[in-house]
């Protein structure tokens, strides 16, 4: 039986991945930042009882190399998925040192722990399109120049380089997945897609009157998290480790996302959306980030089941229906 260890198991990607791997017959070990009894309520919102019993739960922080070593010594995984760490590039301007410690040093500690405890394990590192910054070319491929423009992007690039070092110098099987925006009904409320979906439901129910947004012309390459996490697993089945871009290959403006979200509730966004000036100088790159997923498609056979429209509609319906988190967290949801 294959055995997977997952950091960040209670995040959007970690939840979908864990439940997908269980469906595939894996043994799963998950790392929690706090003891299980303090995380239990959140765990029970996302995992059915049978899966909670099936998962081996561990406690540890990316700041504690000894906890990471214990985690991997106990789990002895054949596959290790590293998804934990600061995930908001805007927040990284506020907490740059914590961002570097969480992402870069956290990745190094985990790689070193794996080298000591399970050197044959195949390792997936969750990277980000933010490593490209204001991109030198569009679309981006795995060889596109990296020139990150945020502390988050810089930290991710450094983590990627550490992964490559361990791949070449220590012969560890390390994959970096370069991830573009990927959405789902599990997205935290501080992300645009979820904020829009929640606002649509509130306006439809009469609990709100308008939604303020800063820039409808900003464009992104959006995929669905339920598709993307399957790519993580495929990447660790490849004959040799490599870097892979997981993206849709298409760009959509925020205006398209907003329009589709409001249409799902039979509303016209122009009646409810108020465009305001940007109030922060810590913004992400707003245009040009579009990934070329050809390598993942060709070498891994990765395919996407969710279209941009279908994902946004599903996010809005989840809010309109007040869909339970347990159902939102199902990677097989159709």
User: Which are the catalytic amino acids?
Assistant: 128, 130, 152
The answer for residues whose C-beta is within 8 angstroms of residue 243's C-beta and 6 or more apart is 127, 142, 160, 175, 176, 177, 178
Q: Where are the beta strands (DSSP E) in the chain?
A: 3-7, 27-32, 56-59, 79-82, 122-128, 173-179, 182-183, 211-213, 219-220, 223-224, 243-246, 252-253, 273-275
Separation of alpha carbons 273 and 110, rounded Å: 44
**3-state DSSP assignment of residue 87:** coil
- Could you tell me whether strands 243-246 and 182-183 are parallel, antiparallel, or unpaired per DSSP bridges? unpaired
CA–CA separation, 141 vs 194, rounded Å? 28
Per DSSP, the three-state class of 204 is: helix
β-bridge mates for residue 28, sequence order: 4
**What are the E-state strand segments in 8-83?**
27-32, 56-59, 79-82
Q: 51, 44 in Cβ contact below 8 A?
A: no
* Dihedral, CA of residue 232, residue 234, residue 235 and residue 241, to nearest 10: 150
In the three-class reduction of DSSP (H, G, I as helix; E, B as strand; rest coil), residue 150 is classed as coil
Cα-Cα-Cα-Cα dihedral sign, residues 249, 135, 161, 29: negative
């Amino acid at each position: 039986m294959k055995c997977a260890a997952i950091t960040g198991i209670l995040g959007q990607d970690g939840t979908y991945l864990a439940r997908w791997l269980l469906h595939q017959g894996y043994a799963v070990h998950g790392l929690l930042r706090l003891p299980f009894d303090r995380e239990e309520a959140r765990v029970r919102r996302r995992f059915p009882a049978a899966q909670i019993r099936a998962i081996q739960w561990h406690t540890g922080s990316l700041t504690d190399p000894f906890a990471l070593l214990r985690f991997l010594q106990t789990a002895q995984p054949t596959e290790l998925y590293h998804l934990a760490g600061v995930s908001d590039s805007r927040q990284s301007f506020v907490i740059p040192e914590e961002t570097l410690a969480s992402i870069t040093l956290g990745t190094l500690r985990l790689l070193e722990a794996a080298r000591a405890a399970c050197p044959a394990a195949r390792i997936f590192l969750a990277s980000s399109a933010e490593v490209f910054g204001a991109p030198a070319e569009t679309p981006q491929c795995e060889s596109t120049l990296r020139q990150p423009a945020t502390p988050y992007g810089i930290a991710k690039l450094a983590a990627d380089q550490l992964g490559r070092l361990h791949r070449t110098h220590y012969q560890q099987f390390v994959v970096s997945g370069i991830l573009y925006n990927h959405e789902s009904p599990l997205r935290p409320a501080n992300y645009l897609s979820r904020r829009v979906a929640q606002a649509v439901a509130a306006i439809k129910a009469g609990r709100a009157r308008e939604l303020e947004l800063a820039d409808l012309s900003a464009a992104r390459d959006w995929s669905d998290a339920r598709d993307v996490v399957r790519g993580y697993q495929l990447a660790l089945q490849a004959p040799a480790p490599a870097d892979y871009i997981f993206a849709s290959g298409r760009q959509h403006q925020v205006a398209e996302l907003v329009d589709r979200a409001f249409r799902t509730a039979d509303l016209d966004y122009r009646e409810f959306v108020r465009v305001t000036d940007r109030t922060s100088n810590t913004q992400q790159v707003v245009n040009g980030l579009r990934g070329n997923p050809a390598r993942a498609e060709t070498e891994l056979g990765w395919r996407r089941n969710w279209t941009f429209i279908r994902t946004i509609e599903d996010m809005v319906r989840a809010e309109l229906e007040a869909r339970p988190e347990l159902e939102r967290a199902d990677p097989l949801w159709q």
